[in-house]
Amino acid sequence: MIKKLICLLLMVNMVTIYGQTEDEKQLKIFYDLALTKGKSYDWLNHLSNQIGGRLSGSVQAEQAIVYTKAELDSLGLDRVWLQPVMVPKWVRGTPEFAYLESKPGYTSNVPICALGGSVATPPGGVKANVIEVRELSDLEKLGKAKIQGKIVFFNRPMDPTLLNTFQAYSGAVNQRSSGAAEASKYGAVGVIVRSMNLRLDDYPHTGSTSYGDLTDAEKIPAAAISTNGAEFLSTTLKLDPNIQFYFKQNCKQLEDVPSFNVIGEIKGSTKPNEIIVVGGHLDSWDLGDGAHDDGAGCVQSMDVLRLLKLSGYKPKRTIRVVLFMNEENGLRGGRKYASEAEKNGEKHVFALESDAGGFTPRGFSFDSSEADFSTILNWKSLFEPYLMQQFTKGGGGADIGPLKKEGIVLAGLRPDSQRYFAHHHAENDTFEHVNKRELELGAAAMVSLIYLADKYDLGSAN
């Protein structure tokens, strides 16, 4: 009996070693192909420099749909199609303008941009005294008497002591997303928000703001100010609390318009009804060209399917790339994809999203059961030679979030994030700030994880 157990353990150990060896070989193939024959950088070059910023409902967004579908068609996938989705159409209008006025005729211009979804100022702009706050709760402490008729200046920086910059972003972003709605309740005439940026520079960073259930008459204009501008405004207010701030913006919310998610797939060889998704969001804000957010994630996801085919690997499951529309100001694409999957009775077992920039990949985060996460941790050593060492529990991504149900595993690519918020939602989110090798390493990491999830039946218990 003991001899049989020893033999069995030896056999299991040999199979494990052999399996690791084969997986190491396969990952090496993926990385070599991505770094020598990758297509993601060329695709991103076109998206960024030939099309540009792709705000939902814009001409550029539609051009990106046409371009990426044609590129997926050229890969010889089993199926490529467009999934209709209605999206909001918000337009910025003519460039925003702002200044501080210490006394009549003495002004200093500061860089601002309208927050996505904001209403316009009156045609002549808004000019008023400023009250500075750090927290939404400060509004209640101050009360209507001190806020009425003023511009509220939200000036809470992202926490620089947090190495996880997405955690720092989460700790500061509510002033941008909810500041206008809350300040309106206390009679404010406008809102200026410090940009979500750890660096001091002159780039204002946009992003969505929500008015909740306010009526049109109750909505007030909201703009972001650059971090240098915020420091200047705060310092000036300390010297003279009676200064006035002027800003003018011409943005407008129009009726919803039709758009599309772009989808392509390789049909599974033995379990075609089990679906693995990899994707990013095709829309971006309009200030830069959306290279990091999220052109990088889209082209990496497209290259995952291309690299699978180029390597000769035949997936057991259907591998599907989804380029989601309208993540930035509505999440309509992600919700539509999930609702259609539910309606069609599709079984999704794993989804991977890249929406954290095209910087050097450091690992993945996973939303999964403990059993699936234990399986995933067994793969960590395969990625360590490629400096991918962070395998953590956490969210997958906004667009794949609506797919969440018991059993499915959601994952997110986690690049080095230290530089990400210097470009996020700003004019300098451009192609020149993406490194070709870093981008390709991300695609290699993603196709490697997709391969392992497919081979070892990750999430198939749902």
Active site residues: 327
Per-residue burial over 147-159, b = 16 or more CB atoms within 10 Å of its CB, e = otherwise: beebbbbbbbbbe
Tokens 């993926």 locate to 30
| Cβ–Cβ < 8 Å for 421, 157 | no
CA separation for the pair 56, 284 (Å, rounded): 7
Give the strand pairing for 361-367 and 390-393: parallel
Phi, psi of 302 (to 5 degrees): -60, -40
Q: Assign residue 302 a region (left: φ > 0; alpha: ψ between -120 and 50; beta: otherwise).
A: alpha
**CA distances for 91 relative to 101, 255, 389, angstroms:** 28, 11, 41
CA-CA-CA-CA torsion sign (228, 233, 234, 238) = positive
CA separation for the pair 127, 6 (Å, rounded): 82
Q: Assign residue 53 a region (left: φ > 0; alpha: ψ between -120 and 50; beta: otherwise).
A: beta
| Cβ–Cβ < 8 Å for 47, 300 | no
Q: Any idea what the Cα angle at residue 211 is, between residues 208 and 214, rounded to 5°? A: 165
> What letter represents residue 81's amino acid?
W
Give the strand pairing for 271-281 and 347-353: parallel
Per-residue burial over 83-108, b = 16 or more CB atoms within 10 Å of its CB, e = otherwise: bebbbbbbebeeebbbbbeeeeeeee
Q: Residue 21: in which H helix or E strand, if any?
A: helix 2-37
| Cβ–Cβ < 8 Å for 368, 376 | yes
Quickly count: other Cβ atoms within 10 Å of residue 20's Cβ.
14
